[in-house]
A and B are shown apart, each in its own frame.
Chain A
């Protein structure tokens, strides 16, 4: 039997319809119990809490508080008028001997 494009399209549609109307396989309650039994036999998952993972999950929650803290500290530092170079200069003038033993970071 030869069949043309139209016939083939009809066949295709019938096959697609048949595929989509397939019945769902049925399982018993025993099946679900067996699966859970299998899973219980496997035991708990080997989950290790790494600090990085914890940070990834929970760290971002503290972001607003950290931002507020940075703003407050900056404000406090500005208000304090703290300048490390000046402090070191005063220290070296007032205590020249001790100052010679102090290693100044970054210098």
Chain B
């Protein structure tokens, strides 16, 4: 008698998408793709453009890797993944040039460097090559949105403090003296570190809450058997 495949294997759940947003956030939790994170988050617009480009490459490459997972032999899988990722990076490179040259110039070499973003190769190897097409696309979209969210967190703080603006609009008055260090590389490290402290603190608070509520439930069960 053959055993039926577990249902969980193919079903797409909301949790697959939301994992990338918070629990497995590529930057704040997994610390993947830190090179573009530090380099292009000197303004919110750049951060959002890089996030959109990464979502496109992540979803496209994971969809193709997942679709071809039974066709690609184990021995040449990394080479094949790199070819697929490089293809989608080339596509996004042309598309950004077609949409806005200004944006293309602002992102500089970092568009081409998405090829070596370990987040994308990591997801292709760890998830897309082992899961169904639908699950891979949903997971990639979640990871991409989580990555963009983290970039936007950094970009907004750096632009606000580094130039007193947000998306190019003046936020602080004329008397505000910009903290130029914030839009320079050290600013990237400072802001990333600060966000990591904040996220760790929130996470610890949540864990403590869960532990204390669990303990309270146990006590109640013990006292009222």
Q: Do A and B bind each other?
A: no
